[in-house]
Amino acid sequence: MTTYTAIANTDIDQDSPVTQPLMTAMRDNPIAMAEGASGAPKLRTKNVFGGGSASGDVTTNYDFTGLDNFGGARFFIEVSYTGSLIPVWEISADAGAGFGAATTFFGGTSSGSVSSQLFQGYWNKITGSFEFEPGSGSVTVANTGSGVTTLRFTTRTTLGTGGATITCYIYLMPDGGESTT
């Protein structure tokens, strides 16, 4: 793996000479960033996946950890449910002192069955905003900023009756990423 070398401002000011170490760093740094070298800005996408199924009147959490070095994430959520229940989706974030209050981004209005429903959008870690596509609004979570390490998607059902089942799959692609090695 190529080594990343930080280039100080004093190495590139108007009075600094062009040196062999400077030119080597300028050549190698983009390669080191693409390879995910230690100390290099992160460029690769980290792909994480969670999924599961629950029955009845239950709450299920899907936690995505290791988001310390990312500025945000694209997400895709597929959910299906059967039986007599109303699904509610919530989002919260942990900045080291526990999860903030959950924010509802979808609250079903009627019970019944849905074979497949897709939510997709983008989460901005610094502002805490979730933008949903296509043009279906946005919400903001309580914990924001660079300290956020874990993102939690929660699904719960209300008014569930016997045989009600909810199944979901979440695919999260944080910006930047980390080395795959």
Q: How many CB atoms lie within 10 A of CB 52?
A: 13
Residues 139-154, mean pLDDT to the nearest whole number: 74
pLDDT bucket at 179, cuts 50 / 70 / 90: very low
Spatial contact of 158 and 85, defined as CB atoms under 8 Å apart: yes
Domains of the chain (ranges, CATH numbers):
1-41 (no CATH), 48-174 (2.60.120.680)
CA distances from 162 to 83, 86, 105 (A): 8, 13, 26
Beta bridge partners of 62: 153
pLDDT bucket at 131, cuts 50 / 70 / 90: confident
Residues 86-101, mean pLDDT to the nearest whole number: 72
Residues 89-101, mean pLDDT to the nearest whole number: 74
